[in-house]
Chain A
Amino acid sequence: QVQIQQWGAGLLKPSETLSLTCAVYGGSFSDYHWSWIRQPPGKGLEWIGQINYIGNTTYNPSLQSRVTISVDTSKNQFSLSLGSVTAADTAVYYCARERGIESYYFDYWGQGTLVTVSS
């Protein structure tokens, strides 16, 4: 059974850097891609980006200049860094596993972390 546990700071000030991490328990870490998705309060889902186990990344063009996703295969963990945050970055942030090989869907999700940006 696959479980994904996520953690990180929930309250930031404008211009600070958001940092979240997900740990994966169970299943194969190398056979999948690992994604970040966010959801502003009362709004829809937005794909942020993904990484595979060798560190290849793809980002949403609208966030690319501020986003870094990294992976630590020794711990089966992956992380999100989003710089220069503003109130518009306030959202629930989810991490998720993606099949990622000729088939793209998110089958396991973390519990979500509410990140609030406020001065």
Chain B
Amino acid sequence: QSALAQPASVSGSPGQSITISCTGTSSDVGGYNSVSWYQQHPGKAPKLMIYDVSNRPSGVSNRFSGSKSGNTASLTISGLQAEDEADYYCSSYTINNTRVFGGGTKLTVL
């Protein structure tokens, strides 16, 4: 199975908004509402930020939001803060009952 496609890097200034895309196929992202997003700081385990396309776990800032259109899911971070600088990964359930991750996006807060 191929990794979901994410941009290698995005950047933004404090206070701005950024969006990270995650493109798959109708056999994964497009076929199910089981897209999730993870934040990973260096040397740390990933942290769940969004599940089921657009739901936030308890304790995650409402500056993080998710959406999906067709085979592409998106993570938007508004009001960028220095602490948001991290790697972000999307994940999806697949038609074969497997799971697949995106290649990851490095977010730089300028």
Contact = CB atoms under 8 A, between A and B. Distances in A.
Contacts of A111: 45
B101 A107 contact: no
B101 A104 contact: no
A106 B90 CA distance: 11
Interface string B19-60: 000000000000010101010000001111001100001000
A104 B98 CA distance: 10
A12 to B, nearest CB: 22
A103 B38 contact: no
B103 interface: yes
A58 B98 contact: yes
A61 B34 contact: no
* Chain A interface residue number, banded: 20 to 34
B98 A107 contact: no
A110 B32 CA distance: 26
A103 B91 CA distance: 12
A11 interface: no
B69 interface: no
A78 interface: no
B104 A44 contact: yes
A50 B99 contact: yes
A43 B8 CA distance: 11
B98 A94 contact: no
Nearest to B103: A44
Contacts of B52: 103, 105
Interface of B: 1, 3, 32, 34, 36, 38, 45-48, 51-52, 57, 89, 91, 93, 96-104
Interface of A: 35, 37, 43-47, 50, 58-62, 94, 98-99, 103-107, 109-112
